[in-house]
A and B are shown apart, each in its own frame.
Chain A
């Protein structure tokens, strides 16, 4: 029996010829990531265990993105602890305000993720880098501490769900609609402990930003990781970003999957998820007309340049509706600069939206867009759990950037094609 793409990457990292689903292995890490919420807990554990050195200062990334620019004194103290640790251990990839971006947009942009690499991050959306053919997965702070000290992590080798993509996405349909549709099909634990491996002739048409969005929300189906094969688009993305050697892996023809699913991209409609689970999906046609008070366009899921272009195409020359706040957050400083150069930032501001420095802020109800009682938001973020963006009575609808922008214009959930 052959191996899946994920199993091959994990076998390499464990120095084994082959692995099988369920096997416990210890893998060598190519990168260990943390942010301003999870790193301080890792630092505490690192010190408590009496550890003195990091395994490789070039293979640790610390990104201050969640509560930054700091929202309160306690957050500032957590950031200070990260800063001090990064300095003490001369961490190469330390990103502070002014240089940072939302971690899962920033790391690929900086060339810190490459095909075949094994990456753990103390942030659940670390699964994003599977878009580049890497194995990357979210872990906790103790794993981060152990990874920083040893360069190793334990893994249970996952089985996999094969997702065969066919056809081509239509207008106003993007990566977010693909992943929401899939989660709606299989549920929030539909791929629990498993890999989501995306293959098929539909892959080639998907831009890298769509692939990042799809892998980013693999965790919302319970998956350990999501992964795409490496193709010309991947190689073009890596050019100028990654100079070290990397290795692309493909699943064996006789690899075993627990389930195979086919999604015809050309048949997908813009898709949204109603409270309080990402699996509670509806097409925009079914959801249209629901009033909203806030729109968030950004996050590690949908804060990349393609997302901003899609939102700006809808908002340009139009106005955000009275009674609606529209918050746009480019995910990195580079994306912000590119959006300015293309005139997108002007389009947003002229429409009556605000444009913020990169931050995770509103996605987790931290700052820069917290909701009030009984308010509804439509958001390009990734979770619509109870109380995620505000009080327990506040509600979140998840959507892609085009639908979010169209809804900002009308004040109700809107199909951009209907404007």
Chain B
């Protein structure tokens, strides 16, 4: 697995530029993911890689295409110091794991090997031996993620038909 590490305020325009929003197909979104901030991302990213960001990750547009593009790239999760709120709820709603943990962001460098336990929120930097604890999701949010997204969870509750 590889780590892709970025700074603060990674916005949705660099995660997936608006010029590609006319094709919401997941493969197309993944092909242009991070293009304006990291031209090599789409061609090198592999399943199980992790994106690490600073504060306010995913700020800007409400485009769900942004977490979809990262998820469709095969990225396992995003760890950031904080997330912009629409990106945060979009990731939860599509069942894509994100972890808020400033200490882990400071303690992870590109080239490190990192493992994550989504149940407990534990993040282990296997290269340095350090362990970090992300705040666990509230039960309600876990229910959404465990059901594979918001719509499935609403159906499971019998709210949506």
**Chain A positions near chain B (C-beta within 8 angstroms):** 24, 37-38, 40-41, 44-46, 48-53, 66-67, 71-72, 74-75, 78, 121-124, 126, 138-143, 145-146, 149-150, 152, 154, 188-189, 192-193, 219, 222, 224, 277, 364-366, 383, 385-388, 392
Contacts and interface: CB of A to CB of B under 8 A. Distances in A.
Contacts of B149: 142
B42 interface: no
B154 to A, nearest CB: 6
Contacts of A152: 159
A140 B93 contact: yes
Nearest to A155: B89
Interface in B63-117: 63-65, 67-68, 82, 84-86, 89-90, 93-94
B100 to A, nearest CB: 11
Contacts, number: 140
Contacts of A189: 9, 55-56, 59, 82, 84
Contacts of A386: 11, 13-14, 36-37
24 contacts: A24-B138, A38-B62, A40-B24, A41-B64, A45-B151, A49-B160, A53-B161, A138-B86, A139-B86, A139-B89, A140-B89, A142-B150, A142-B151, A149-B154, A189-B9, A189-B55, A192-B82, A193-B85, A222-B56, A222-B85, A224-B85, A277-B9, A366-B18, A383-B60
Contacts of B138: 24
B59 A145 contact: no
Contact of A24 (B18, B140, B155): B140
B63 A38 contact: yes
Given A385-B13, A386-B13, A146 B86 contact: no
Contacts of A139: 62, 86, 89-90
B121 interface: no
B152 interface: yes
B55 to A, nearest CB: 6
B19 to A, nearest CB: 6
Contacts of B86: 124, 138-140, 219
Contacts of B82: 189, 192
B22 interface: yes
B119 interface: no
Interface string B17-33: 11101111000000000
B24 A122 contact: no
B43 interface: no
B19 A366 contact: yes
A149 B150 CA distance: 12
Given A24-B138, A140-B93, A383-B13, A222 B22 contact: no
Contacts of A387: 13-14, 17, 36
Contacts of A388: 13, 18
A125 B43 CA distance: 33
A140 B90 CA distance: 6
A51 B36 contact: no
A56 to B, nearest CB: 14
A188 B59 contact: yes
B61 interface: yes
A81 B138 CA distance: 36
Contacts of A145: 151
B90 A192 contact: no
Given A49-B155, A51-B160, A149-B160, A67 B22 contact: yes
A188 B89 CA distance: 18
Nearest to B18: A364
A49 B18 contact: no
A144 B140 CA distance: 19
A78 B22 contact: yes
A303 B84 CA distance: 26
B151 A146 contact: yes
Given A142-B64, A142-B94, A188-B59, 19 more contacts: A75-B22, A78-B22, A121-B62, A124-B61, A138-B62, A139-B89, A141-B64, A142-B150, A146-B160, A149-B161, A150-B159, A188-B9, A189-B9, A189-B84, A277-B9, A364-B13, A383-B60, A385-B60, A386-B13
B65 to A, nearest CB: 7
A121 B37 CA distance: 28
Contact of A44 (B18, B24, B63, B154): B24
B93 A143 contact: yes
B84 A192 contact: yes
Interface in B1-56: 9, 11, 13-14, 17-19, 21-24, 36-37, 55-56
Nearest to A55: B160
B128 to A, nearest CB: 28
Contacts of A71: 22
Nearest to A24: B140
A192 B88 CA distance: 11
